[in-house]
Chain A
Amino acid sequence: MAKQSKDHVKVERYTRTSRVALPVAAAIVIAAATIPAWGSSAIMKQSVTLLTLIGLAQMWNLLAGYAGLVSVGQQAFVGIGAYTLWVFADKFHLNPFASVIFAGIVAGLFAIPTAGLAFRLRGGYFAVGTWVIAEVFRLIVTQIKWLGGGSGFTIGSVNSVSRHARESITFWLALGVAVGSIVLVYFLLRSKRGLALTAIRDNDLGARGLGVNITRSKLWVYIIAAAGTGMVGSVIYLNLLRVQPEAGFSLQWSALMIFSVVIGGLGTIEGPIIGAVIFFILQQVLSDYGTWYLILIGALAAGVVVFAQRGLWGTLVRKKAVDLFPVRRRLCLETVCFTEETPRKSGEEPGRLPSEEPPAV
């Protein structure tokens, strides 16, 4: 019996689309990596903006979409990343591009005490709590003269290489953090820990009953997201070069990542990418009209979050298993595979196997 059921029941972890999507995505990344060879300085700078936005959005999505932690204080780690980069590169004279790694490590370390305080709060209070902590980081940095005080600093060490080399390396780093964030979230969610996270997202009491340590799961997601955000922050400032506490720790960063994720689709890998692209396009198109792009995006995000909760991607692929980056496990019986959304017909007994229904295909 056991052998027989093994043949008939299997857990499908890839989708037909994903088998096509992964090579296509790899081809796009390789093509994009050649941009420094032919692209202008402006194209590279703009690409860095978009790629880092994707990275930020992925990290925020990991936090909110999978661990249910709505933080509006991730700008703390953008700022910490920028400052770490500067300290390691300009003060300790390490390679500025290699310092991106340290930005991640330091941001991750700062996330531990931050979580210790913020995790005492729930829901909306957690959100504002993280925001207060980001403000504390900003105010403390403003007071420390060694860190440039209120006026900030300019990253000077990168001028040791030519402008084109600097821009190219920054671009590749941005591509690295964007792709890295996607790959990280993808493999994280496919792992055992990812399964635990998904369980928490769907039903935290149920997850606890099955032996998931909720607090610990959330803690390591918080630390990973902080480290990722710190690395992205350092790359952002390799591009901008001028850091001020007001800008580095600005709430604007949270607005960028939150709006991108919400518009694209919370709790999916594809959503933040799409959201970031939409955000970037609107920003470019409306750049002559002051902050109207933010007003428009804010309204779009508020509308989407209320009336199309799954975001653009989620609404698009609803009920279809077209995941480009499949992180779900789907139960397949005989030849029929079920998605999470498979609606149960009324009157159907919970215990009855769906395969006993007449074939739906």
Chain B
Amino acid sequence: MVWVNDIIQGILLGGLYALFAAGLALVFGVMKLVNLAHGDFSILAAYLALAFVGLLHINPFYTLIIVIIIMAIFGYVIQRGLFNFAMDAGPMQAILATFGIAIIIQNLLLEGFTANSKGLDAGKIENAVITISKQIAIGWFPLTTLIVSVVVLVALQWFLGRTRTGRAFRATADNQRAAQLMGIDNRHLYGMAMAVALAIVAIGGVFIGIRTTFSPSAGPLRLIFAYEAVIIGGLGSLWGTLVGGIVLGIAQVLGDHIHQGYGILVGHLVFLAILAFRPQGLFARQVQ
């Protein structure tokens, strides 16, 4: 029964990773850009929430709205102000530009908030649990996280499938030049895609900030988890990111169960095993 509990905890953790992975997958899908600053953007969101909590003395959940809006605007601006030009310069230049931004964000946060770990205090929900049996207990907060991530993915799918902008995203993902000939302004669209991605990442950043502590140097690991979830799930698959996140979450929880501190390593090894034996991911490339 202990194992069942581990798997449940892993699934719940996977929901959180899916929130990071979805943004990464969206940006890659639409503009073929691997954003190395993705994890640092999530940390930035967590620090924003922290700043608003300190300023307004409210529950971090309420800061979500403002943090999402700020991150979305930030995403649009940085895409149009820098990344679009970087992508014009070439794919390698684009990766290197995002790497530069990652290092800048890490060190700005270090200067602004010191290297100490911080946390967001969401009150009672953090410790509330639903006890199912002696060994199985589901935390309200991790459950909320999973539900939110599923809702976000459903909303994203609806957005991509049913709205005009969403269809433009898919058209650009399929064939950028043809989409441009149909009158789609790709520079604006890329800005929109980054805005949506960072809005999702903002949710993930605030949620993980409530779940665990964070520090300015925590970004790269978030990027790696998101990336592993994307590769495990399969490139180009939206729901694959959720499955990838869940596989990664279960691997980490089970790893930690085997030996305290092995969790992250086991997660990496599962990722490398997938890369070695099924490089196309669990869900082969499919239409978003």
Residues of A within 8 A of B (CB): 64, 68, 70, 72, 116-117, 120-121, 123-125, 127-129, 131-133, 135-136, 139-140, 143, 251, 254-255, 258-259, 262, 266, 290-292, 294-295, 298-299, 301-302, 305-307, 309
Are A306 and B86 in touch, CB under 8 angstroms? yes
B141-157, CB under 8 A of A: which get 1 and which 0?
00000000000000000
What separation, in Å, do the CA atoms of A125 and B235 have in the docked complex?
10
Are B93 and A309 in touch, CB under 8 angstroms? yes
Q: How far is the CB of A26 from chain B (nearest CB, A)?
A: 33
Are B265 and A143 in touch, CB under 8 angstroms? yes
Question: Quick one: given A136-B268, A258-B99, A305-B96, are A131 and B220 in contact (CB under 8 Å)?
Answer: yes
Are B224 and A131 in touch, CB under 8 angstroms? yes
**Chain A residues with Cβ under 8 A from B265's Cβ?**
136, 139-140, 143
**Chain B residues with Cβ under 8 A from A136's Cβ?**
265, 268-269, 272
Are B36 and A302 in touch, CB under 8 angstroms? no
What separation, in Å, do the CA atoms of A104 and B47 have in the docked complex?
41
**Chain B residues with Cβ under 8 A from A125's Cβ?**
34, 227, 231, 235
What separation, in Å, do the CA atoms of A295 and B94 have in the docked complex?
18
79-104 of chain B: CB within 8 A of chain A: 82, 85-86, 89-97, 99-101, 103-104
Are B93 and A117 in touch, CB under 8 angstroms? no
Question: Quick one: given A262-B96, A301-B100, A306-B86, are A128 and B91 in contact (CB under 8 Å)?
Answer: no
Cross-interface CB contact of B96 among A70, A140, A143, cutoff 8 Å: A70
Q: List 9 A-B contacts (CB under 8 A).
A: A123-B91, A124-B91, A127-B36, A291-B111, A294-B107, A295-B107, A295-B108, A298-B100, A301-B100
Are A123 and B95 in touch, CB under 8 angstroms? yes
What separation, in Å, do the CA atoms of A68 and B92 have in the docked complex?
8
Question: Quick one: given A135-B268, A290-B111, A306-B93, are A124 and B28 in contact (CB under 8 Å)?
Answer: yes
Q: Does B110 have its Cβ within 8 Å of any Cβ on chain A? A: yes
Q: How far is the CB of A115 from chain B (nearest CB, A)?
A: 12
What separation, in Å, do the CA atoms of A7 and B220 have in the docked complex?
58
Question: Which among B89, B92, B94, B107 has the greatest number of chain A C-beta atoms within 10 A?
Answer: B92
What separation, in Å, do the CA atoms of A288 and B279 have in the docked complex?
47
Q: How far is the CB of B266 from chain A (nearest CB, A)?
A: 10
B15-35, CB under 8 A of A: which get 1 and which 0?
000000000000010001110
Q: How far is the CB of A231 from chain B (nearest CB, A)?
A: 24
Query: How would you classify the secondary structure of chain B's contact residues: helix, strand, loop or mixed?
Result: helix
Apart from the given pairs A135-B268, A259-B103, 9 other A-B contacts in the complex at a CB distance below 8 Å: A120-B276, A124-B28, A132-B268, A135-B221, A135-B224, A143-B261, A259-B100, A291-B110, A295-B108
Q: Does B223 have its Cβ within 8 Å of any Cβ on chain A? A: yes
Q: How far is the CB of A72 from chain B (nearest CB, A)?
A: 6
Question: Which among B89, B104, B276 has the greatest number of chain A C-beta atoms within 10 A?
Answer: B104
Q: Does B69 have its Cβ within 8 Å of any Cβ on chain A? A: no
Are B111 and A292 in touch, CB under 8 angstroms? yes
Are A117 and B276 in touch, CB under 8 angstroms? yes
**Chain B residues with Cβ under 8 A from A299's Cβ?**
100, 104
Are B96 and A120 in touch, CB under 8 angstroms? no
Are B272 and A117 in touch, CB under 8 angstroms? yes
What separation, in Å, do the CA atoms of A129 and B235 have in the docked complex?
14
Q: Does B70 have its Cβ within 8 Å of any Cβ on chain A? A: no
**Chain A residues with Cβ under 8 A from B283's Cβ?**
none
A129 closest partner in B (C-beta): B275
Q: How far is the CB of A53 from chain B (nearest CB, A)?
A: 16
Q: Does B190 have its Cβ within 8 Å of any Cβ on chain A? A: no
What separation, in Å, do the CA atoms of A70 and B96 have in the docked complex?
8
Are B92 and A70 in touch, CB under 8 angstroms? yes
B264 closest partner in A (C-beta): A139
Q: Does B228 have its Cβ within 8 Å of any Cβ on chain A? A: yes
**Chain B residues with Cβ under 8 A from A266's Cβ?**
92
Q: Does B271 have its Cβ within 8 Å of any Cβ on chain A? A: yes
Are A64 and B224 in touch, CB under 8 angstroms? no
Are B96 and A258 in touch, CB under 8 angstroms? yes
Are A302 and B82 in touch, CB under 8 angstroms? yes
Are B103 and A294 in touch, CB under 8 angstroms? yes
Question: Quick one: given A306-B86, A309-B90, are A124 and B275 in contact (CB under 8 Å)?
Answer: no
